[in-house]
């Protein structure tokens, strides 16, 4: 069972949104492992790809190599060296065009990276 303890400290409305976001990502990534990374429930392949992070009033779906991804729908936010995120403020945001494409692009990019051994440590989906 994935470690979703990060969600427990969230307000009820955001907690439900975080769980729904996690479940939605889980459906999109059947071949990735899941584990807690930097305090957040995450999905891993060769490296850490995606985390679901609850904030005060929204949820971030974090893409650890988001700066490397094509984002035709301009969903990604952030200015860091690598990480970018998509803010989820309501359930319907999970249906926005381009979100699944970002996840698939993250998986494809991850396949080009050296294996950090995370899969062996992760819980399999």
Q: pLDDT digit string (tens) for 40-81?
A: 899 999 999 999 999 999 999 999 999 999 999 999 999 989
Extract the tokens encoding 37: 């990374």
At residue 125, the pLDDT reads: 43
Q: Which structural domains are found in the chain, ordered by start? A: 5-124 (3.90.1150.200)
Query: Is pLDDT larger for residue 2 or for residue 115?
Result: 115
Lowest mean pLDDT among 49-53, 96-100, 116-120: 116-120
Rounded-to-integer distance, Cα 59 and Cα 18, Å: 6
pTM assigned to the model: 0.91
Radius of gyration (C-alpha) of the chain in whole angstroms:
13
């Amino acid at each position: 069972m994935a470690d979703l303890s990060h969600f427990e400290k969230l307000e009820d409305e955001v907690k439900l949104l975080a769980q729904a976001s996690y479940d939605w990502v889980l459906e999109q990534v059947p071949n990735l492992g899941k584990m807690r990374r930097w305090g957040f429930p995450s999905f891993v392949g060769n490296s850490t790809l995606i985390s679901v992070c609850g904030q005060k009033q929204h949820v971030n779906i974090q893409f650890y190599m988001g700066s490397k991804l094509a984002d035709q729908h301009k969903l990604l936010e952030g200015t860091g060296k690598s990480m970018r995120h998509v803010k989820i403020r309501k359930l319907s945001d999970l249906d926005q065009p381009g979100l699944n494409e970002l996840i698939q692009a993250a998986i494809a990019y991850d396949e080009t990276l050296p294996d950090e051994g995370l899969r062996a440590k992760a819980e399999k989906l």
